[in-house]
A and B are shown apart, each in its own frame.
Chain A
Amino acid sequence: MSLEQVTTAGRPVTDDEAMLVRVQREDFSIDEELRRVRARSKRIGGIAIFLGTARDRSKGKDVDGITFEHYEGMAQKKLREIRERALKDFGVIELLILHRYGEIGIGDNIVLIIAGAEHRAEAFQACKWAIDELKQITPIWKLEHTPDGEVWVEEHP
């Protein structure tokens, strides 16, 4: 990438921060990612998790598989913005966001959000906000493979 990975404050992203916001082809282990969040602070007392998986049906049509495409660099930048805003505005101690790209089989993992806070209310709130925001601002596109052919989601607005 021509643009260096930096936080919204403009400083370079640390290795730990880079592991907490990832866009990757390979699957992830929820246990491993949960350990990563818990290791950030002993003050965490409530953790909310959102896991998005691939459905076999979309808008009344069968789906055999999904391919995700992302804008390398900008996707990570937007996810970092979401993490930083969650930490600042929702009072959570840590927020992890992972999104996969490439070909995803039905039932497979797509996206994982883990919000760790002192108490459950902030964790639930930040987790819900983060996945909603991800869907609004992150440059990731979904190609659904159906028996009738391939369809970019929102191809016919």
Chain B
Amino acid sequence: MVTVRLFGMTKMLAGNQGTLSLVLPEGGRVKDLVAVIDAAYPKIGELLQKKKVLVSINQDIAHEDLAVRDGDEIALLPPFAGGNR
């Protein structure tokens, strides 16, 4: 079981939940996490596929092949406030 923190529009798209608790397959990677989120929250999944929303692990942006480990601090990051200059 992993906990994923949500912010801004991703929190809204998940019905204003601040976190999601998800079950990942053994040895799961970021792309597996994206697939699990896509199945449960397709609108967030679409933004993840388009890279409009990024995944961070331990406060750094994570590549899709990065392994997700127990105890990792995981978050979904929508576009930042200043990104539309």
Contacts and interface: CB of A to CB of B under 8 A. Distances in A.
A74 interface: yes
A54 to B, nearest CB: 12
A119 to B, nearest CB: 28
Interface residues of B, number: 22
Residues of A in contact with B, size category: 20 to 34
Interface stretch (B29-37, B62-70, B76-84): B76-84
Given A2-B73, A71-B75, A135-B82, A152 B8 contact: yes
Interface string B1-19: 0000101110010000000
A68 interface: yes
Interface in A110-157: 132, 134-143, 152-155, 157
Interface of A: 2-3, 68-69, 71, 73-74, 77, 132, 134-143, 152-155, 157
